[in-house]
Amino acid sequence: MNPSPVSTQWIDIAPGFAGCLALPPAGHGPGLLLWQEIFGVNAHIRAVAEQYALDGFVVLAPDTFWRQAPRVSLGYEGDDRQRALALMKAYGTDDALADIAAATAVLRARPETQGHALGSLGYCMGGRLAYLTAASTDITAAVAYYGGGIQGMLDRAAGVRAALQFHYAGIDDHIPPEAVQQVREALPGAEVHVYAGAHHGFNCWARSAYHAPSASLAHGRALAFLAERLAFGR
């Protein structure tokens, strides 16, 4: 079997703070910050990093729980889920903004991203972080999948200069339709897609909520959105 054309490695972002870097076959391209779910930079997030690296992006997945549990990698049920919830509750907005600033600076300074724009992509908690990245930095585009809590941070919408795309499940116990409507109203220039029949976490093939039709459609939309706005070939 041929080795993967994508190379991955852990790199330092700040003292004690690391991230998984995935380089595309060309070795350079637009930068993409990939923000994890509450389950850490686990197998699913690392696979997504490789997926987007194969699509041509230089992907950095920061280990956002580095203060409490460096490089934690959790499953989706039982004790792992309870630990993930506890880690999320201990991860405050100030810590998130500090991590966003540090990771954005490191990715921008990488030789592989020189001459290219930066974007952000995240799932669940990471969807909220992708939105916060758009609201607190000068990235060009951001994609948020079922980002819980964004409706509580819409006071930051005035700081958004990036193009935004949101993906929501049509059936989501964590994000009610009213929250999606609040996002639409606060960010009228954003793309908002809702997937009927899909549940929270529908992109993750390791979760019971995985919904392949919605996941493939959302990936196609996200890929086209990011490729167009991050200017391949610059």
pLDDT digits (tens, 9 = 90+) for 102-157: 999 999 999 999 999 999 999 999 999 999 999 999 999 999 999 999 999 999 99
12 in catalytic set: no
Residue 20 annotated as catalytic: no
From the candidates 55, 63, 99, 172, which is the catalytic residue? 172
In one-letter notation, the amino acid at residue 61 is A
At 62, the pLDDT band (50, 70, 90 cuts) reads very high
Alpha-carbon distance of 184 to 227, in angstroms, equals 23
pLDDT interval class at 233 (50, 70, 90): very low
- Give the chain's domains with CATH numbers: 7-229 (3.40.50.1820)
143-154: pLDDT as tens digits = 999 999 999 999
**Which pLDDT score, from 0 to 100, does residue 4 have?**
85
Classified as helix, coil or strand, 232 is: coil
Report the percent of the chain where pLDDT is more than 90. 96
pLDDT tens digits along 179-226: 999 999 999 999 999 999 999 999 999 999 999 999 999 999 999 999
Q: Which of 44, 200, 211, 219 is catalytic?
A: 200
Q: Which of 124, 167, 199, 211 is catalytic?
A: 124
**Each residue of 74-87: b (16+ CB within 10 Å) or e?**
bbbeeebeebbeeb
**Residue burial 89-118, b: 16+ Cβ < 10 Å; e: rest:** eebeeeebbebbeebbebbbebebbeebbb
State yes or no: is 116 an active-site residue: no
